[in-house]
Amino acid sequence: MKSSFIPPTRFFPYLRWTDIQAMPDKANVVLILPVGAIEQHGPHLPLVVDAAIGEAVLGKALEKLEPDIPAYALPSLYYGKSNEHWHFPGTITLSAQTLLATITEIAESLYRAGFRKLVLMNSHGGQPQVMEIAARDLHVKYDDFLVFPLFTWRVPQITKELLTPKELQLGIHAGDAETSLMLSILPDQVKMEAAVMEYPDLPNDNLVTMEGRLQFGWVTRDLSQSGVVGDATVATKEKGDRILESLSDSWVKMIKDVYVFPQPTF
């Protein structure tokens, strides 16, 4: 019943309650909740892209992680806040309030079981703010609970070396990087014959951008007719393999860093 990406020995639902009760040093066990989305990714990619990428990167990282580091993957939260894509059929979205409540109640269940370190491994660009609010509010409520709102793609990695300058600036959805990675992890679900290149028509010398520190509120229909914001036509499996290795290597370090991360004290 689980994703094939996660090693069975690292899959939290395969534990028994007695395993959890007897687990040593539960306060430092690292639990990772992959948070994805079911949303359009152009005519060439399936709706599951964000969730699949998060699980694949995490699964590869957990395969590489030393066995003496206690870390477990929770079942992915497949639905996210995807209302920027809802003009495209197939997109399923939760409200920010529903997503926040869901993450909060999952986290509180884990806290009651004795765990004190939870990584929110988000792979969808439309909801990092929800992760950050959840992490802060949970720590305010439970001051010994460390919640890490992390983004799958923001660890050190090589993707920038593989993309054109234009793709780096404007390729934010279903473009070269995501398509290449999907060619690596789920090649049978990619229809490269339907891949397109589509960039938004935005001012070049303007401090306001689609994503980043100075952004504006947009929906995908403002930027693209196809649902693609970038160039999917140049994607390759070879690039995807390199991206997967790079991301997963950094996630190994990320999990180890969370494991040894101390509760800050004044």
Q: Kindly report, residue by residue over 94-148, the tens digit of the pLDDT.
A: 999 999 999 999 999 999 999 999 999 999 999 999 999 999 999 999 999 999 9
Q: Please list the residues that pair with 148 across neighbouring strands.
A: 119
Q: Write down the pLDDT at residue 2.
A: 59
pTM: 0.96
Alpha carbon 72 to chain centroid, angstroms: 16
Closest to 155 in 3D by CA, of 107, 123, 183: 123
- Which of the 8 DSSP states describes residue 206? -
* Contacts of residue 24, Cβ cutoff 8 Å, sequence gap at least 6: none
Residues of the chain with pLDDT under 70: 1-3
Closest to 60 in 3D by CA, of 45, 73, 47, 48: 73
Question: Residues 227, 88: contact at Cβ < 8 Å?
Answer: yes
Catalogue all structural domains in the chain, each as residue range(s) with its CATH number: 25-260 (3.40.50.10310)
The Cα-based distances of 25 to 13, 21, 160 in angstroms read: 19, 11, 38
